[in-house]
Structure 1
Amino acid sequence: MRHATSSSKASIAIAVVVLSLGGAAFAQSRPDTENGRYALSTTADGVLRLDTRTGTVSTCNNDSGAGWACYAIPDERAAMDAEIGRLQAENEKLRAELAQRDPTTTGKTDEALPKSDSLKKGEPKVAEGGRKIEIPLPSDQDMDRMMSFLEKAWRRLVEMANRVQRDVSGKI
């Protein structure tokens, strides 16, 4: 194997040319990975590129033979940071407006609240014109009507149960 044949020399030469041309074409078609700035990961559509310096993520693909194109993926973190900044600015603005409205108002009162006995029954509520609201109890007549109604309903229920019992015992 020390002496290579001419066909193997030609194969090696062709492989070197192909590798060098292919390597140059590949180096031109892929993003810069010099000094480890970009981390690349292949996907079904192309390449996912992470910029290790800025944290930006991009999708890169070879569109219709026109060359490689990379498009930044929207960063949710950047959007969230922008929203936090907006809310902080709005909060400061509202605090300043509140401070300008009435600087003498505080959350505390200087006077003590009146003490009351929670078990003591309060006075009846008073309606318009100083009248007391009272709920009248049912009269004896109303109670008699209610008792009569319940008595009739109970008798009908007992009669119905007796009829059902007679019907069932007669069929058996």
Structure 2
Amino acid sequence: MSTAKSSSKFLRPAVLALCLTVGGHALAGAAPDTENGRYALSPTGEGVLRLDTRTGAISTCNNSGAGWACYAVPDERAAMDTEIGRLQADIVRLQAENERFKAQLAEREPTVPGKIEEPLPKSDSLKKSEPKVAEAERKIEIPLPSDRDMDRMMSFLERAWRRLIEMANRVQRDVNGKI
């Protein structure tokens, strides 16, 4: 009996440890399955990083209160490849459109003959005339306004001054009436 007692002494803690280990995993939830080597798992501080060896997709797996949950990590490379493909398609479309416009332009007859072959005369319509310069003194002469221009200016200033005075009087009446 002493052998049975000594073997049960060692067997009981081993069985208890095995039950606790298996029971602990069962209570925590099942870890992500590797599906016959399809997934490569790497532990992280918060859970497990899962690499799909067939597709190259990466997911982060965490054990929350409800069990294990895996979320795909955004693949910036796929997004860039998609954008590059879209831009390349746009380039091809724009090149074809450019060629079509060039062909349409080549089919047209020139509307103004000689415009392309002959250079246009050099004349600048926006160029202002030179101010009058006295030959001996080399001074710029500025023409003075005429009497008509002066009368128009004085009339404008008189009307503006009268309107300003009338407006000040109206404001003063409004303020006096409200106080």
Please list every run of 5 or more consecutive structure 2 residues that lacks an aligned counterpart in the other structure: 107-121, 131-135, 137-179
What is the CA–CA distance in structure 1 between the aligned matches of 2:84 and 2:90, rounded to whole Å?
10
- 1:37/1:105 CA distance change after superposition, 3 Å: same
Please list every run of 5 or more consecutive structure 1 residues that lacks an aligned counterpart in the other structure: 107-124, 134-138, 140-172
The structure 2 residue matched to 1:7, chosen from 9, 32, 43, is 9
> In structure 1, what is the equivalent of residue 58 of structure 2?
57
User: TM-score scaled by structure 2?
Assistant: 0.52
What is the CA–CA distance in structure 2 between the aligned matches of 1:83 and 1:126, rounded to whole Å?
50
Local SS of the residue matching 1:100: helix
Deviation at 1:56, TM superposition (A): 0.8
> Is structure 2 residue 74 aligned with structure 1 residue 77?
no
Instruction: Kindly report the root-mean-square deviation, in angstroms, between the aligned alpha carbons of the 2 structures.
Output: 3.9
User: TM-score scaled by structure 1?
Assistant: 0.53
What is the CA–CA distance in structure 2 between the aligned matches of 1:95 and 1:126, rounded to whole Å?
38
> In structure 1, what is the equivalent of residue 38 of structure 2?
37
Name whichever of 4-13 and 41-50 sits farther off.
4-13
Q: How many residues align?
A: 122
> In structure 2, what is the equivalent of residue 18 of structure 1?
20
Q: Percent identity?
A: 54
Deviation at 1:82, TM superposition (A): 0.3
What is the CA–CA distance in structure 1 between the aligned matches of 2:35 and 2:123, rounded to whole Å?
87
Local SS of the residue matching 2:50: strand
What is the CA–CA distance in structure 1 between the aligned matches of 2:97 and 2:15, rounded to whole Å?
80
What is the CA–CA distance in structure 1 between the aligned matches of 2:7 and 2:87, rounded to whole Å?
76
Deviation at 1:43, TM superposition (A): 1.6
Any residues of structure 2 matched to 1:1-172 within 5 Å, and which? 3=3, 4-22=6-24, 28-63=29-64, 65-103=65-103
